[in-house]
Every structure is written in structure tokens, then in C-alpha cells.
Amino acid sequence: GPLPHDNPDNVRLAERYLHRFYGLPAGLRGRKASLDAFQDKIKEMQEFFKLEVTGNLDENTLDVMQQPRCGVPDVGEYN
Amino acid sequence: HFPRKLKWQNTNITFRIVNYTPDLKKSDVDRAIRNALNVWADVTPLTFKKLNEGIADIMISFGSKEHGDYNPFDGPNGLLAHAYPPGPGIGGDTHFDEDEHWTKDSSTYNLFIVAAHELGHALGMSHSSDPGALMYPVYSYGEGFPLAEDDIEGIQELYGPNPNHRKVKPKPDAPQKCDPMLSFDAVTELRGETIIFKDRFYWRIHPQFVEPEQTLIKNTWPSLPNKVDAAYENPEKDQVFIFSGIRMWALNGYTLVDGYPKYIHKLGLPKSVRKIDAAVHIRETGKTLLFTDEEYWSYDEASGSMDTGYPRSIETDFPGMGDEVDAAAFHYGYLYFFHEHVQYEYSYNSRKVIRVLRANSIFNC
């Protein structure tokens, strides 16, 4: 089957999640720098949840992103 | 903790419930919030006074979508609640998503558990990466006193311990997979995955996952007990049987099978057996071995009865691996016995121990 990161819904979900909880800057899609930022934030999230740190939007990572949770960001300054 | 270790400067903190969810009776909401505050009061010198009007340190409210703080909720599921760290104005305020269904039991979202977590933020606690801690950011239902050691260490770092030394029993930290002294409660296969139970948690090893996944038992199966003694898979029935004390449950995939729990004595064990230490199904013979203390029993899955001539001595029939077993598994003609932090690889055909490994070598530690 298709890899999870190929699914645009999954990418949107991940962007929303990383934007909200890991301070991913909005509106940077499509450039190399933004891909790096996206992967760095995924790595940060994977490290926090003790997942395998790959920077890729794998099934385990998506699974955690879909779980019900608290709205307070996991890292960074609280605004 | 939040950056700069934000905390309340006095120990007498006020709170006010600004509005109520229609999902619960007003008195149930009051009780859930009061109990959630008491969780933190038990382990600190903090006291909480309820105000019915005016501005309190912690203003508690239910709202949906954009609810006045430019930090909107998202409808059912997803975000459940949020809270602000100690400070003036919005600091300490705690908001619950009204689009969730709030309960006082394990169905949907338990208000007491979410409130205890959020009020932790309102007191200065940030998120924990320990999946057994109350301050772990992902919701899970649990019973009993909700704080783990990690939560207590955190809050006492800010406010110190409770001078009245009220007795509380914290939940231990989540077991670490590479702890050299790690032992297991139970091991089973589940449709090609390996499930390892330890304390309130289980690890899931999937052939396509590089890292094992650790989850609270209650998170997946709220009605299972917090401690599993033994487990085995019968692949012909496509069922996994889980034992705790004198009760057993059956899973089909991850779903609990109706009609359980049943008493283990239904299998034909005598009433004197109060607990099964380990269980393993041997596909080739259709037998399930059940280990209790220094003995084991053989259960015939086809006839649904215990084989005669049992119990037999573990030490006699499985030479080289001591007389007690914590967990057992069977792969490709080898039995894997776990006892304390050691794993014995036992050849079922040649009837001897082939290798002795650390229990957690299963995690590639």
C-alpha cells in the first residue's frame, strides 16, 4: 500500500500537529528548508514519545499524532 | 516544568468553576475538580479554596472551538483541554473542550483524570515523556491515585512535600526496556506481533517496527487488570488468553471476547491454584503448558481438558533452567522461558537449554 507520508491527509494532520505542539512555522511547504524544518520537528516529537527517531512520517508516529491529548505544547516557550 | 519554573508564590490558591458541562451533574463536576486538586494537595503544601464569584487564581471553564483565548479547540476528540502555567491574568486558567463527552467512568473522557492533568499545568508542571505519568500528554484512563513518581518529583521540585506527610502511594515509573535487571510478567504472540506485559504496561514488538511500543494496559483494555500473570496465543482459535489471579480473559485481535472473564478453574485446574505464572501454546502438539509455582500442567486445546499425569515438576522435565518461570514463549521448536532477568532458550526436541540470555535481549538491548 502507499506509504503514510504519501497521503495528503496525513501530511496535513502532521503539519497541524507539529505547528501546534512543536512550533513548526506555518506556510513553508514545498521548499527544501521547510522540508528540513518539518523533519526536524518530527524528530523532536519522535524523541519525546520514545519512538524510532527517523524524521519520517511513519505509521507509529501518525498513530501517536491521532491520539486524544492535552492541548499544551510539548516543547518550547508557552505563549 | 515550564521554562523559568513558573509557580504560585503562595500556597493558598483559589479556584472558580466559571461554567459547567451539561454532560455531568453539577455536583459531579464539582467533585471531579475538587478530587483533581486534592491529588496535588496530597503531595505538596498547597491548599485550594473555591470561590463562587470574582477572579480566582485558577479559572476553570468549558468552551468549544474559539473560546476567548485565541487557542481554539478542535471539536470532538483530538484536543481535550489545556491550561496555562501560574501567573497573573490567564495564568493558571484551565479550559475543557465542551465538544468532548465528559464522564465520571472509563467511557469516553474521564473529567477527573483530564482535570488532574490540566491542573498540574496550572500549578507549573509541563509534560512528562514517561507514558505512566499523569503529565504524559496523551489521554489514558486509569484507576486509583493517578500520580506516578515522576509527577511527584516534579511538583515537589516546585513546592516541596506535604508537611503533614499524608500517605500516598505513587505509581512507579514506566519500566525501561534496557534495564539489565528487567523481568517480565507475561509474553505472548498476537497475530505475528509479540506482546510483553510488565507491571501496568505492555510492549508491542512488530516485525516492521524497529522500536518496541510501550503502552499502558488500561489504555488499550480498560477492563483488564493492571497486572497480568500469564498469556498465550492459540493461533487456531485466533485468540489470546490473558491470566490475572484466578481470572482469565480472551482477546480476538485487540478486542476482548464476550463471556469473559472466566475462572481459571474452568480449564480443569484445582481450586488450590490461585495464579498462573506463565502459559505457552505448542502448535505442533496442540497442548498449552500452564506453569504454577514449581509445577506445570498440560491443557489439551482440542478436547478442552487437562491431560492426566499432571502437574509435573518443572525442574525435572525442563532440566537446566531452575524451578520457576515468569513467562514463556514458543518459536520454531524452541521454548523461551523467562525468569527474573534471565531468558532460557530451551530446545523442545533435544530437551536441553541451548542458550542463556538477558530477558531483554528480545528488545535488542
Tens-digit pLDDT profile for residues B214-233: 998 988 888 899 899 999 99
- ipTM of this predicted structure: 0.87
On the question of pLDDT at A59 being above 70, the answer is yes
Residues 6+ apart with CB under 8 A from A8: none
Q: Provide the grid cell at A54.
A: 527517523
Question: Cβ(B85)–Cβ(B121) under 8 Å?
Answer: yes
On the question of pLDDT at A78 being above 70, the answer is no
Residue B208's pLDDT is 78
Instruction: Return the higher-pLDDT residue of A7 and B255.
Output: B255
Instruction: Return the higher-pLDDT residue of A52 and B16.
Output: B16
A67–B139 CB contact, under 8 Å? yes
**d(C-alpha B306, C-alpha B284), whole Å:** 17
Q: Which of the four pLDDT bands, split at 50, 70 and 90, describes residue B169?
A: confident
On the question of pLDDT at B195 being above 80, the answer is yes
Q: Annotated catalytic sites of B, by residue? A: 118
For range B76-97, the mean pLDDT: 96
* A69 touching B (Cβ < 8 Å): yes
For range B157-164, the mean pLDDT: 92
Which residues is B354 bridged to in the sheet? Answer: none
Residue B167's pLDDT is 67
Residue A2's pLDDT is 43
Residue B2's pLDDT is 92
Provide the percentage of residues in chain B whose pLDDT is more than 70.
99
For range B194-220, the mean pLDDT: 89
Provide the percentage of residues in chain B whose pLDDT is more than 90.
79
Q: Provide the grid cell at B91.
A: 495564568
On the question of pLDDT at B323 being above 90, the answer is no
Distance from CA of A35 to the nearest CA of B (A): 23
B2–A64 CB contact, under 8 Å? no
CA nearest to A47 within chain B: B129
**d(C-alpha B195, C-alpha B187), whole Å:** 6
**d(C-alpha B331, C-alpha B13), whole Å:** 58
Question: Cβ(A43)–Cβ(A19) under 8 Å?
Answer: no
* B125 touching A (Cβ < 8 Å): no
Q: Which of the four pLDDT bands, split at 50, 70 and 90, describes residue B31?
A: very high
**d(C-alpha B266, C-alpha B241), whole Å:** 13
Suggest the residue from B62, B70, B79 to mutate for an interface test with chain A (most A CBs closer than 10 A).
B79
Residue A1's pLDDT is 39
B77–A68 CB contact, under 8 Å? yes
Q: Which parts of chain B fold into alpha helices (H)?
A: 26-41, 111-122, 149-159, 217-220, 314-317
Three-state DSSP at B322 gives: coil
Lowest average pLDDT, out of B22-36, B61-75, B157-171, goes to B157-171
